[in-house]
Chain A
Amino acid sequence: MADLVIVDYGAGNVKSVEFALNRLGVKPILSSDADVVGNAERVIFPGVGNAEFVMNALKGKGLDNAIKSLKVPVLGICLGMQLMCTRTEEGNVEGLAIFDTIVNKFPAKDKIPHMGWNSIKTNGSPIFKGIPEESYFYFVHSYYAECCTNTSSVCDYILPFSASLEKDNFFGCQFHPEKSGEMGERLLNNFLKL
C-alpha cells in the first residue's frame, strides 16, 4: 500500500500541497495513475483551474471512478471539493456526487472572487480538532457549495456556504489548508491522523 497520494492531473498547483505536507514530515506521492490512487492509504485531491478541464482530465485517466470507490480518508481541496459535489454551475459539469450538494456561482453582490482570510463556524468534526471557533482560513474562489447535511463548517461571504464538507471517509474544504498558516497545518495534521 502506498502512503499518501496527491492526485496530480496535470493542472493546478500541487506543489503547495506537497510542500505543506513536507513541513509536517510527510513525503506524499504525486500520481495521476488510477491504480496508485486506488491503493493509497490516504488521498488528497487538490484543485485549481477550470472545472470542465479537470473533470475531463480525471475521466480520461479513470480517476473519477478511482476516487469515488476509495474507502480510505480522502480530502478534496477547493475545486477538488467542488468536483466531489453533485454538479457545478461552472461549465455545468457533473461532479463525482459524493457530497449531496451543488456548486453555484456567487451572486455579484460583493467582490468576486471571494479572496482572502475568512472566519468559519464548525460543527465539531474531528478534522477541526484543536482549531478554535471563528478561526480564519484562506479562500480563493468564485463558486460555492450550498449548505447541506454534509456541511461540516460554514463560511459567510455574500451568503452562508459550505466551507467544508464531510461524508463517511470523504472530506472536502473550500479553503486552502496548505496556505492557511498554523490553523491550516492543524487541519492537515488532523486529516493525517484520521
Chain B
Amino acid sequence: MLSKRIIPCLDIKDGRTVKGTNFLNLRDAGDPVDLADLYAKEGADELVFLDITATHEGRKTFAELVQRIAERINIPFTVGGGISTVDDVQLLLRNGADKVSINSAAVRNPQLIADLAAKFGSQCVVVAIDAKCIDGKWVVHLNGGRIPTELELFAWAKRAQELGAGEILFTSMDHDGVHEGYANETLAELSEMLSIPVIASGGAGNMMDFYDTFTKGKADAALAAGVFHFGEIRIPGLKQFLKDKGIAVRV
C-alpha cells in the first residue's frame, strides 16, 4: 500500500533553520543538518528545505548546505526558495537534492515548469502555491505571500500539472502558523481535480489535523514545520496515532 507522507519543512536563512508564523516573526530553530538527521531517524518520509535568504552569499551557503544534507540523509528531500532558472536547479540537483520546489518563478515564467520537466523529469518538479482566500476566491500570492496575483489557485494548479509539474505543494496562507488544521475542503477539491500528488501545507497544530488532512483533505502528503521543530509533535508518536486510526503510514 502506498503510504501517506509526513514531511517536516525547514525554513533556512543563512544556513540556519527558522520558522515564521503567518510568514512573519522569524525564530531560530537550530542546525538544519542535525535537525534533518533527527527527523529522518524518527521516521519522516521526506524533507523540504526552503531557502529564505535574500543575499547572494546566503544562496551559496544554501547550495553547500544541500550537499551536506545529501551526504548525511537517507530519505528524499526537496529544496526550494529563490529558484528561477534551469541552471539554479541543475546546481541543486547536482549537489544531491531529489526535487526542487518552484513558486514565484513559475508564476512569472510558466515555461520554466516545462523546461525543468523536459530536462530533469516531472518527478523532481514540485510547484509550490501560496494562496489566500479573498471574497471566496483563492488568490495565488508571490514572494512568500507578499504580492497578490491575478491567478486563481485551481486554474493555476491545473496549468502547472499540464506543463509538467510532478507534485503540487499548496500552502493556505489563512491557515499557516495558526495551528488549527489544514485547509481541507480546498485541498480535497484540489486533490480530486489533479492527477498528480498534492502536499498539504499550513495549519498543523495537533495529530488530529494530520488525520483530517489525509481523510477529509484527501492529501497525499502533509507538510509541517513549527510543531515538529519545537517538539510539540514527535514523528514516531504521530505515525503510530495515524496507523491506529487506519491511515497507511510507514512505521
Partner of A136, one of B3, B40, B120, B195: B3
Among the stretches A1-9, A62-70, A112-120, the one at the interface with B is A112-120
* B190 contacts the other chain (CB 8 A): no
Residue of A nearest to B40 (CB): A181
Contact partners of A49 in chain B: CB under 8 A: 120-121
Asked whether B74 lies within 8 Å of A178 as measured between CB atoms, the reply is yes
Asked whether A50 lies within 8 Å of B121 as measured between CB atoms, the reply is yes
CA of A113 to CA of B124, assembled, Å = 11
Contact partners of A95 in chain B: CB under 8 A: none
Given A113-B123, A117-B3, also A181-B74 (CB < 8 A): yes
Asked whether A115 lies within 8 Å of B166 as measured between CB atoms, the reply is yes
CA of A8 to CA of B243, assembled, Å = 40
Partner of B96, one of A13, A156, A157: A13
Residue of A nearest to B96 (CB): A15
- Nearest CB of chain A from residue B90's CB, rounded to whole Å: 11
Question: 0/1 per residue, A153-194, Cβ < 8 Å to B?
Answer: 000110000000000000000001011111011000000000
Asked whether A15 lies within 8 Å of B70 as measured between CB atoms, the reply is yes
* B184 contacts the other chain (CB 8 A): no
Interface size on B, residues (CB 8 A): 31
- Give the size category of A's interface with B: 35 or more
CA of A136 to CA of B197, assembled, Å = 18
Partner of A179, one of B1, B2, B74: B74
Asked whether B98 lies within 8 Å of A13 as measured between CB atoms, the reply is yes
- Nearest CB of chain B from residue A134's CB, rounded to whole Å: 9
CA of A53 to CA of B42, assembled, Å = 38
Asked whether A184 lies within 8 Å of B95 as measured between CB atoms, the reply is no
Partner of A111, one of B70, B72, B75, B220: B220
* A56 contacts the other chain (CB 8 A): no
- Nearest CB of chain A from residue B99's CB, rounded to whole Å: 9
CA of A181 to CA of B124, assembled, Å = 19
| Main DSSP-derived SS at the B contact region | loop
Question: 0/1 per residue, B1-45, Cβ < 8 Å to A?
Answer: 111010000000000000000000000000000000000100001
Asked whether B1 lies within 8 Å of A19 as measured between CB atoms, the reply is no
| Main DSSP-derived SS at the A contact region | mixed
Partner of B93, one of A13, A19, A115, A176: A13
Asked whether A118 lies within 8 Å of B96 as measured between CB atoms, the reply is no
Give the contacts of B112-144 with A (CB-CB under 8 A).
Answer: 120-124
CA of A111 to CA of B122, assembled, Å = 13
- Nearest CB of chain B from residue A82's CB, rounded to whole Å: 13
- Nearest CB of chain B from residue A189's CB, rounded to whole Å: 12
Residue of B nearest to A118 (CB): B2
Give the contacts of B44-86 with A (CB-CB under 8 A).
Answer: 45, 70-72, 74-76
Asked whether B70 lies within 8 Å of A16 as measured between CB atoms, the reply is yes
Asked whether A48 lies within 8 Å of B121 as measured between CB atoms, the reply is yes
Residue of A nearest to B118 (CB): A50
Residue of A nearest to B74 (CB): A181
Contact partners of A15 in chain B: CB under 8 A: 70, 94-96
- Nearest CB of chain A from residue B103's CB, rounded to whole Å: 19
Given A13-B93, A23-B74, A179-B98, also A117-B120 (CB < 8 A): no
Residue of B nearest to A176 (CB): B76
Q: Which residues of B contact A (CB under 8 A)?
A: 1-3, 5, 40, 45, 70-72, 74-76, 93-96, 98, 120-124, 166-167, 194-197, 220-221, 250
Further pairs besides A142-B123, A179-B76: 4, Cβ < 8 Å: A13-B98, A15-B94, A108-B195, A176-B76
Q: Rank and list the top 8 A-B pairs by shortest CB-CB distance, nearest first.
A: A136-B250, A117-B250, A15-B96, A117-B3, A140-B123, A179-B76, A118-B2, A19-B71
A-B contact pairs, 13 of them (CB 8 A): A15-B96, A16-B98, A19-B96, A22-B71, A23-B72, A49-B120, A111-B197, A116-B3, A116-B220, A119-B3, A142-B122, A179-B98, A182-B74
